[in-house]
Amino acid sequence: MPTTSPAARSAGDTSYADVTASDASLRRFLHGLPGVDTVGLEARAAALGTRSIKTTAKAYAIDLAISMIDLTTLEGSDTPSKVRALGAKGAHPDPTDRTTPTVAALCVYPDMVATAKEAVAGTGIRVASVATAFPAGRTSLAVKLADTEDAIAAGADEIDMVIDRGAFLSGRYLKVYEEIREVRAACGDRARLKVIFETGELSTYDNIRRASWLGMLAGADFIKTSTGKVGVNATPANTLLMLEAVRDFRALHGEQVGVKPAGGIRTSKDAIKFLVLVNETVGEDWLSNDWFRFGASSLLNDLLMQRQKLATGRYSGPDYVTVD
């Protein structure tokens, strides 16, 4: 935790205004956060990855993981039928077993929000949209806000926003902060905001911790590792680090922020490792889809196959789960 006085999140608080008064003051605050030791962080993430999760614990973890999935399709080739199929899949992930939980949300591009919204009507599944010029975020703030507004107007319940990594890496923290604030304001009460850092591009763990605090100070409801569009996406280590950040942030400000690892989580085994990280770092307060999500598309089928295995004692195979 920073040794400087805690910056409150509400804009009315003066100490908070001090921190966000300039790039320099924001830099002082973010660079005052405790360092991250790479070797130690990765060792801890790896050690938690060796927990042996079996039988009842495994069944619990699989259902929890399914309920935390943001079922995602972010392709240039997305069509309304593809999105509708995804909606059906999200509502009934395993048509042969109606006890299977539904996923948390569908995650689509803004132009698909209306279709997605229709597809999941009445299921309780939310619709998330990657607005703000996803995945690069390299447009003007006006365009990002318009993108956000479009998605919300079409019915998006959640906005997944990318930060300007160029601005962050060149030390223009205030620009990043203000953009998040603006998008947060545009979301208002209508949508929850997930802020994507693209941790693979931030490259150091110190940067990831700073970005996490920057995002939380600016009002993010969720902090999210990555877009899934670069080489390095969610890893146990960067997710562990972000969990530590939300834990410390709540201890300081009393406000809870969610975490969403995204990209590259494909197997039940991987997903369970992430749930162990949550369990042993922040505990059960975060063990629901209100506070933890998986950004994934192929993960669901592996979870379903494992679920069928637990139910029947046999492995079924990819033809016993649906392809979309």
Partner 1 sequence: MTMAFDYAPAPESRSVVDIAPSYGLFIDGEFTEAADGQVFKSLSPATEEVLSEVARAGAADVDRAVRAARAAFGPWSALPGSERAKYLFRIARIIQERSRELAVLETLDNGKPIKETRDFDLPTVAAHFFYHAGWADKLEHAGFGPRPKPLGVAGQVIPWNFPLMMLAWKIAPALATGNTVVLKPAETTPLSALFFADICRQAGLPKGVVNILPGHGDAGAALVAHPDVDKVAFTGSTAVGKEIARTVAGTRKKVTLELGGKGANIVFDDAPVDQAVEGIVSGIFFNQGQVCCAGSRLLVQESVREEVVDALKRRLSTLRIGDPLDKNTDLGAINSAEQLTRITELAERGEAEGAERWSPACELPSSGYWFPPTLFTGVTQAHMVAREEIFGPVLSVLTFRTPAEAVAKANNTPYGLSAGIWTEKGSRILAVAEKLRAGVVWANTFNKFDPASPFGGYKESGHGREGGRHGLEAYLDV
153 neighbors 117 (Cβ within 8 angstroms): no
Helix (H) or strand (E) holding 108: strand 105-108
Contact flag: residue 283 with partner 1 (CB under 8 A): yes
Contact flag: residue 36 with partner 1 (CB under 8 A): yes
Interface positions, 285-304, toward partner 1 (CB under 8 A): 287
Which residue in the list 160, 206, 221, 302 is annotated as catalytic?
160
Give the nearest distance from C-beta 287 to partner 1 in angstroms: 5
Q: Is 160 a catalytic residue?
A: yes
Contact flag: residue 310 with partner 1 (CB under 8 A): no
Contact flag: residue 194 with partner 1 (CB under 8 A): no
Choices 6-14, 47-55, 152-160, 316-324; region in contact with partner 1 by CB under 8 A: 47-55
What distance in Å separates the CA atoms of residue 251 and residue 257, rounded to the nearest whole number? 11
| Nearest in space to 23 (alpha carbons), one of 168, 164, 163, 174 | 174
Contact flag: residue 284 with partner 1 (CB under 8 A): yes
Q: Is 229 a catalytic residue?
A: no
- Taking the least distance from each CB to partner 1, the nearer of 60 and 320 is 60
Which residue in the list 224, 248, 270, 273 is annotated as catalytic?
224
- Count CB atoms within 10 A of the CB of residue 250: 16
Contact flag: residue 34 with partner 1 (CB under 8 A): yes
Q: Is 89 a catalytic residue?
A: no
Choices 110-118, 173-181, 216-224, 273-281; region in contact with partner 1 by CB under 8 A: 273-281
DSSP characters over 193-235: EEEE--HHHH-SHHHHHHHHHHHHHTT-SEEE---S-SSS---
Q: Which residues, 6+ apart, have CB-to-CB distance to 252 below 8 Å? A: 1, 6
- Taking the least distance from each CB to partner 1, the nearer of 44 and 184 is 44
- Taking the least distance from each CB to partner 1, the nearer of 14 and 52 is 52
Q: Which of 44, 165, 192, 260 binds partner 1 (CB under 8 A)?
A: 44
Helix or strand or coil: residue 271? helix
Contact flag: residue 313 with partner 1 (CB under 8 A): no
Contact flag: residue 51 with partner 1 (CB under 8 A): yes
127 neighbors 120 (Cβ within 8 angstroms): yes
Contact flag: residue 254 with partner 1 (CB under 8 A): no
| Nearest in space to 296 (alpha carbons), one of 197, 225, 242 | 225
Q: How would you write 288-306 as a 3-class SS string? A: CCCCECEEECCHHHHHHHH
What distance in Å separates the CA atoms of residue 147 and residue 142, rounded to the nearest whole number? 9
Give the nearest distance from C-beta 39 to partner 1 in angstroms: 7
Choices 53-61, 66-74, 158-166, 296-304; region in contact with partner 1 by CB under 8 A: 53-61
Contact flag: residue 244 with partner 1 (CB under 8 A): yes
Q: Which residues, 6+ apart, have CB-to-CB distance to 82 below 8 Å? A: 73, 324
Q: Which of 5, 13, 17, 37 binds partner 1 (CB under 8 A)?
A: 37
Choices 42-50, 94-102, 119-127, 181-189; region in contact with partner 1 by CB under 8 A: 42-50
On the CB side of 56, CA atoms within 13 Å amount to 0
- Taking the least distance from each CB to partner 1, the nearer of 50 and 140 is 50
Helix or strand or coil: residue 71? strand
Helix or strand or coil: residue 160? strand
Residues making contact with partner 1 (CB under 8 A):
1, 3, 34-37, 39-41, 43-44, 50-58, 60-61, 64, 244, 275-276, 279-280, 283-284, 287
Catalytic residue IDs: 160, 224, 260
